């Protein structure tokens, strides 16, 4: 049976991990490659690197980082953040990234989804969607959630699926950072509306939240950052508990 | 960006390490093959990327990769003459993902003919399951030296929308809505639907087994 995936997310700036990481046994906690290797050993199913570099030079460093990760890590990984052209995606894939995730650039120019899936295949195109529920309506937000739009989450998700997205990474801004659980109602609706995998993001605080998003939220994968980085939820224990709750995971 | 490409292609002149077999990864422009090259590097083998028939024919082991769409990949193989070269290779050949599918008789993806090494057809998953299948699933009923030391129901990483139907060349099975062939073997030709290069230590073991064939 296809397993549910556990996906740690690392924020990268100028080729280095930025958010504090509290790992023992790490020579350099700012080195994304060291972290990635450690996560792979712990049983993470894949990794997401989110590039938050503001400069062109910073992005160049990220490309080198991708190459080093691909060289040393034997599980799949996705790279996202500021990707807006076919050329940029080509460079990332050439360096060994398995998938790329696009967000605001897809909203600004939806044809980008078609272009990428036609050229590289749907399997490597993840569309990330940040959305916020306002008066019962889920609205897509841009630029890391800072700019609201009138676009409906479910309509947009359907559109990108039709344009060739291979996967949706949905972050609920109402839940992100709260550690109160994932947006399971919206996630389950996405899963029922679409026929591509859905990654849940935003709200992970404890093991039960992961159980809930796989069962109630019908998510295919769950992404989190701080609970993993600070060792609050060790991945081997998380997966063991998921298994005990009859959720199929890779152990 | 292009310097990365050049760097890897010149990483080894001959692809031979002391006493180790030479590995050539067929480079016909189909997707991300860097990961496969890196996986061999982790095993201490410098695999060479090439579309040169002489280099491919001279290799001890050949990897036939592929990511992307079947009919356009077939088109690229035809343009380079690789479509006639590959089925005639005598050394162990390992098709990975789309590479395995292209070794079959045909594919529903772009309604294309395949290279006809494996006597089976490639079909699209029904919409009863999410398509693509993306993630870790188990392989079972393992029948080949390729899987020496790999236990039944081991997890492998898969990303695909099309699958190969069972035939008597099936050497591993996987369930996703239905039961399909996740690995095939015909004489010196091997094919795996999963990505051994992305399947952790167990995947690495399969590549190691292939090198020992």
User: Contacts from B182-186 at CB under 8 Å and sequence distance 24+?
Assistant: B182/B137, B182/B139, B182/B156, B182/B158, B183/B100, B183/B139, B183/B142, B183/B144, B183/B146, B183/B147, B184/B100, B184/B103, B184/B104, B184/B118, B184/B120, B185/B144, B185/B146, B186/B117, B186/B118, B186/B119
Query: What distance in Å separates the CA atoms of residue B153 and residue B139, rounded to the nearest whole number?
Result: 5
Q: What domain range is B24 assigned to?
A: 2-212
Interface probe for B, chosen from A6, A39, A63, A74 (most Cβ of B below 10 Å), is A74
In angstroms, what separates the C-alpha of A95 from chain B's closest C-alpha? Answer: 7
Whether residue B145 contacts residue B172, with contact meaning beta carbons closer than 8 Å, is answered with: no
Nearest Cα to Cα of residue B4 among A79, A88, A96, A56: A96
- Which entry of B97, B104, B154, B169 is annotated as an active-site residue? B97
Higher pLDDT, residue B113 or B13:
B113
The CATH code of the domain at A5-244 is 3.20.20.70
Is the CB of residue B4 less than 8 Å away from at least one CB of chain A?
Answer: yes
Is A11 one of the catalytic residues? yes
Query: What distance in Å separates the CA atoms of residue A158 and residue A198, rounded to the nearest whole number?
Result: 12
What pLDDT band is residue A20 in, cutting at 50, 70 and 90? low
Which positions in chain B touch A46 (Cβ < 8 Å)? Answer: 135
Q: Taking all residues of chain A, what is their mean pLDDT, rounded to a whole number?
A: 92
Residue A220 is nearest to which of B35, B130, B200, comparing CB atoms? Answer: B130
In tens, the pLDDT along B121-178 reads 999 999 999 999 999 999 999 999 999 999 999 999 999 999 999 999 999 999 999 9
Least confident of A22-36, A114-128, A131-145, B23-37: A22-36
Complex ipTM: 0.92
Whether residue B13 contacts residue B175, with contact meaning beta carbons closer than 8 Å, is answered with: no
Least confident of A235-249, B3-17, B166-180: B3-17
Is B197 one of the catalytic residues? yes
The per-residue pLDDT for B4 is 36
Total domains, chain B: 1
What CATH number corresponds to the domain at position B51? 3.40.50.880
The per-residue pLDDT for B163 is 97
Whether residue A224 contacts residue A9, with contact meaning beta carbons closer than 8 Å, is answered with: yes
CB contact under 8 A, B136 and A123: no
The per-residue pLDDT for B69 is 80
Is A130 one of the catalytic residues? yes
Higher pLDDT, residue A178 or A18:
A178
Whether residue B193 contacts residue B107, with contact meaning beta carbons closer than 8 Å, is answered with: no
Is the CB of residue A199 less than 8 Å away from at least one CB of chain B?
Answer: no
């Amino acid at each position: 049976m296809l397993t549910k995936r556990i996906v740690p997310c690392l924020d990268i700036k100028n080729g280095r991990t930025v958010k504090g990481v509290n790992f023992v046994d790490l020579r350099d906690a700012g080195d994304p490659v060291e972290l990635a290797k450690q996560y792979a050993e712990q049983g993470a199913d894949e990794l997401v690197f989110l590039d938050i570099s503001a400069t062109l030079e910073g992005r160049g460093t990220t490309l080198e980082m991708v190459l080093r990760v691909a060289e040393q890590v034997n599980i799949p990984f996705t790279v996202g953040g500021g990707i807006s052209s076919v050329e940029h995606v080509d460079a990332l894939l050439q360096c060994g990234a398995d998938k790329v995730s696009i967000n605001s650039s897809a909203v600004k120019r939806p044809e980008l989804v078609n272009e990428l899936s036609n050229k590289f295949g749907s399997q490597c195109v993840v569309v990330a969607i940040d959305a916020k529920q306002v008066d019962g309506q889920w609205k897509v937000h841009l630029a890391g959630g800072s700019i609201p739009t009138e676009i409906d989450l479910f309509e947009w998700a359907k559109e990108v699926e039709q344009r060739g997205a291979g996967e949706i990474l949905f972050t609920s801004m109402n839940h992100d950072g709260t550690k109160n659980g994932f947006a399971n109602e919206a996630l389950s609706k996405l899963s029922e509306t679409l026929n591509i995998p859905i990654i849940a993001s935003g709200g992970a605080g404890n093991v039960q939240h992961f159980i809930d998003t796989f069962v109630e939220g019908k998510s295919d994968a769950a992404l989190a950052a701080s609970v993993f980085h600070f060792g609050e939820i060790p991945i081997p224990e998380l997966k063991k508990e998921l298994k005990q709750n009859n959720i199929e995971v890779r152990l | 960006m292009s310097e990365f490409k050049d760097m890897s292609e010149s990483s080894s002149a001959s692809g031979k390490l002391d006493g180790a077999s030479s590995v050539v990864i067929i480079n016909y422009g189909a997707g991300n093959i860097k990961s496969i090259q890196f996986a061999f590097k982790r095993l201490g083998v410098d695999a060479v990327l090439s579309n040169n028939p002489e280099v491919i024919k001279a290799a001890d082991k050949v990897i036939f990769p592929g990511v992307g769409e079947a009919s356009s990949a077939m088109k690229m193989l035809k343009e380079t003459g690789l479509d006639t070269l590959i089925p005639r290779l005598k050394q162990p050949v390992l098709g990975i993902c789309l590479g395995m599918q292209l070794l079959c008789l045909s594919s529903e993806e772009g309604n294309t003919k395949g290279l006809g090494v494996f006597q089976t057809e490639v079909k699209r998953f029904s919409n009863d399951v999410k398509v693509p299948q993306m993630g870790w699933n188990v392989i079972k009923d393992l029948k080949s030296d390729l899987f020496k030391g790999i236990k039944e129901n081991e997890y492998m990483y898969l990303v695909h929308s099309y699958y190969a139907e069972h035939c008597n060349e099936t050497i591993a099975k996987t369930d996703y809505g239905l039961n399909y062939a996740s690995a095939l073997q015909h004489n010196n030709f091997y094919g795996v639907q999963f990505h051994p290069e992305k399947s952790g230590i167990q995947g690495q073991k399969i590549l190691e087994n292939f090198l020992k064939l």
